[in-house]
A = this chain, B = another copy of it.
Amino acid sequence: MASAANAISLSLSIAAASSSSSRRDNYSYSPESSCLSFRKPSGGVSLRLRPVTGASLATRRSSCIVHATSAPVMDPSPVSESGSAGAPTVVEVELGNRSYPIYIGSGLLNQPNLLQRHVHGKRVLVVTNETVAPLYLDRVVEALTQGNPNVTVESVVLPDGEKHKNMDVLMKVFDKAIESRLDRKSTFVALGGGVIGDMCGYAAASYLRGVNFIQIPTTLMSQVDSSVGGKTGINHPLGKNMIGAFYQPQSVLIDTDTLNTLPDRELASGISEVVKYGLIRDAEFFEWQEKNMSALLARDPSALAYAIKRSCENKAEIVSLDERETGLRATLNLGHTFGHAIETGFGYGQWFHGEAVAAGMVMAADLSYRLGWIDDSLVKRVRNILEQSRLPVAPPESITMEMFRSIMAVDKKVADGVLRLILLKGPLGNCVFTADYDRKALDDTLQEFCKS
């Protein structure tokens, strides 16, 4: 039996909501000390530390979601330098009987109990890709089976990249599952980035009409975005994520050590989504990023852990409020309608998702400004932070206005023929999801960013 982790989990209770502006200076981040500290811990914020055993981690469903405008907190858990087991931070995604924990920390792949407590049945299928398998597959198999001889683990290694996120490659997962005689009590484990998580999740949703699955995201993009919230699916030649399911995992395990092997361009791609959370709902987080972007790009462990935790908290709260994207959740797609058009028009896999989203966010900011909804200064700040992150701030030259128009016409946010967009409106940290905007302004934005 796996022993319970002697872990410390940190949860934050907000007694009263307070505006971000009033608490703007409550904390600071020091890249030198890799540490966050409070200046003015006021405003009804209370901190509780409590020991978390394996059993209580697995069963508790308490409200540890943090309001998005809460002050950031100093994580008291030791950051492992050597990759040995550290203490996980836990962010809970509250979805009734489909709630699940996100474990965040260094060395978590060396804590078998974190994985094993969420495995159902005796058979596991790890879905991974050619890049990640040599790095982490053995360690995950070890974590699944250590002290657990009844569990057998199969694996399927898919080609790497967004261009392989299609039905033909998905069928390889089903082939392997059926050949391995996996039954309804099996567990699928997604080990890799967003493409692997989306495909494994959709396979888990569909295999025998649904089996359990666990996400182990290994890229910043998947850690801060795609592994959380239950969106799964594959691309169609005519559109991204057109085929899929809403399907929640049993748990998400984020071992921040896996970022050590991530190429710079992919790290930047993930930062694009981190920036997004700040823009749509978390002004303080955006300001923190403006101050600490160089620490993030230098892969400072504490800065990364904080950015991941804060991003997961923002996403978990949105998903809890609107799991199936009837409204609020759509705001997570800031820049994504333009971005998906870039990905589709340019060919999947030419740009990383976060790169396309970065250019898309600049376009969304441009349109928001043309509509008179935000100040010019915010457009500049968006452009600046993305440029500092070494992300593109305009679409590739080969994408024409007509390509944008035709691809955006089949976007999932079109309803009854009308394209709804997420646009910034008001002070930093505010946005709207709306079909009520001037089409002429959208045309002007497309003209501004397209050569033809």
Give chain A's interface residues, CB within 8 Å of chain B: 121-123, 167, 171, 174-175, 178-179, 181, 183-185, 205-210, 231-233, 236, 238-239, 241-246, 324, 409-410, 412-417
Contact across chains for A415 and B121 when beta carbons are under 8 A apart = yes
Give the contacting residue for A183; candidates B184, B185, B245, B415; CB below 8 A: B415
- Given A207-B242, A243-B206, A410:B121 Cβ within 8 A: no
- Given A167-B171, A178-B410, A410-B178, A244:B415 Cβ within 8 A: no
- A123: B residues at CB distance < 8 A: 416
Contact across chains for A184 and B243 when beta carbons are under 8 A apart = no
- A242: B residues at CB distance < 8 A: 174, 178, 207-208
- A171: B residues at CB distance < 8 A: 167
Give the contacting residue for A409; candidates B181, B209, B415; CB below 8 A: B181
- A175: B residues at CB distance < 8 A: 236, 238
- A185: B residues at CB distance < 8 A: 415-416
A-B contact pairs, 27 of them (CB 8 A): A121-B415, A122-B416, A122-B417, A167-B167, A167-B171, A174-B243, A175-B236, A178-B239, A181-B409, A181-B414, A183-B410, A183-B414, A183-B415, A183-B417, A184-B412, A185-B415, A185-B416, A205-B245, A206-B206, A206-B233, A206-B244, A207-B242, A208-B242, A209-B232, A209-B246, A209-B324, A209-B412
- A179: B residues at CB distance < 8 A: 238
Give, as a whole number of angstroms, the nearest-CB distance from A319 to chain B. Answer: 13
Counting chain B CB atoms within 10 Å of each CB, the highest count among A205, A231, A233 belongs to A205
In the A-B complex, list the 10 residue pairs whose CB atoms are closest, starting with the nearest.
A183-B414, A178-B238, A209-B244, A206-B243, A208-B412, A185-B415, A181-B410, A122-B416, A209-B246, A185-B416
Kindly report which residue of chain B lies nearest to residue A180, judged by CB atoms: B410
- A121: B residues at CB distance < 8 A: 415-416
Using A174-B243, A183-B415, A209-B246 as known contacts, list a sample of 11 further A-B pairs with CB atoms less than 8 Å apart, ordered by residue number in A: A121-B416, A174-B242, A178-B238, A178-B242, A183-B410, A183-B416, A183-B417, A184-B412, A184-B415, A205-B245, A206-B245
Kindly report which residue of chain B lies nearest to residue A231, judged by CB atoms: B209
Give, as a whole number of angstroms, the nearest-CB distance from A394 to chain B. Answer: 27
Complex alpha-carbon distance, A122 and B418, angstroms: 12
Kindly report which residue of chain B lies nearest to residue A234, judged by CB atoms: B206
- A238: B residues at CB distance < 8 A: 175, 178-179
User: Which applies to chain A's interface (DSSP): helix, strand, loop or mixed?
Assistant: mixed
Kindly report which residue of chain B lies nearest to residue A209, judged by CB atoms: B244
Kindly report which residue of chain B lies nearest to residue A243, judged by CB atoms: B206
- A207: B residues at CB distance < 8 A: 242-243
Give, as a whole number of angstroms, the nearest-CB distance from A232 to chain B. Answer: 8
- A245: B residues at CB distance < 8 A: 205-206, 209-210, 245
Complex alpha-carbon distance, A238 and B413, angstroms: 37
Give, as a whole number of angstroms, the nearest-CB distance from A422 to chain B. Answer: 15
Complex alpha-carbon distance, A178 and B242, angstroms: 8
Kindly report which residue of chain B lies nearest to residue A233, judged by CB atoms: B209
Kindly report which residue of chain B lies nearest to residue A245, judged by CB atoms: B209
Complex alpha-carbon distance, A245 and B206, angstroms: 6
Complex alpha-carbon distance, A415 and B171, angstroms: 22
- A231: B residues at CB distance < 8 A: 209
- A410: B residues at CB distance < 8 A: 178, 181, 183
Contact across chains for A236 and B178 when beta carbons are under 8 A apart = yes
- A414: B residues at CB distance < 8 A: 181, 183-184
Complex alpha-carbon distance, A171 and B243, angstroms: 10
- A324: B residues at CB distance < 8 A: 209-210
Complex alpha-carbon distance, A119 and B283, angstroms: 41
- A206: B residues at CB distance < 8 A: 206, 233, 243-245
Give, as a whole number of angstroms, the nearest-CB distance from A147 to chain B. Answer: 19
- A208: B residues at CB distance < 8 A: 242, 244, 412
Complex alpha-carbon distance, A209 and B206, angstroms: 12
